[in-house]
Amino acid sequence: DAMVIQNPRYQVTQFGKPVTLSCSQTLNHNVMYWYQQKSSQAPKLLFHYYDKDFNNEADTPDNFQSRRPNTSFCFLDIRSPGLGDAAMYLCATSRDQGPQETQYFGPGTRLLVL
């Protein structure tokens, strides 16, 4: 089945220790997104890639970076995680641009910062 896969499902890191979260998709979609969802809050868009073009949200901290080496994979790098970065991180994809393009979400990676 075509799908969006996130690994690992749970990630524990130490304060200040860089961590990378992974997302892959078998849908061959052009657009990939990363959302941050803190406890009991709505998901918040961090950034997205349209093909190789990176688009950062204005209020995304510099601590968060992303890489998309090919169509299938996208990574979220947190350079120096703080306690406030503990959250669920959701990856999503859409076939193309535009508001009519449905986003399909992965199961998420829950990050714990000790």
Partner 1 sequence: GEDVEQSLFLSVREGDSSVINCTYTDSSSTYLYWYKQEPGAGLQLLTYIFSNMDMKQDQRLTVLLNKKDKHLSLRIADTQTGDSAIYFCAESICGVTGGGNKLTFGTGTQLKVEL
What's the min distance (Å) between Cβ of 16 and partner 1? 26
What's the min distance (Å) between Cβ of 80 and partner 1? 26
User: What span, in angstroms and rounded, lies between the C-alpha atoms of 93 and 24?
Assistant: 10
Nearer to partner 1, 23 or 113 (CB): 23
Preceding omega of 43 cis (within 30 degrees of 0): no
**Which residues in this chain contact partner 1 in the complex, by CB under 8 A?**
4, 6, 31, 33, 40-45, 48, 50, 53, 55, 90, 92, 94, 97-108, 110
Nearer to partner 1, 15 or 54 (CB): 54
Nearer to partner 1, 56 or 72 (CB): 56
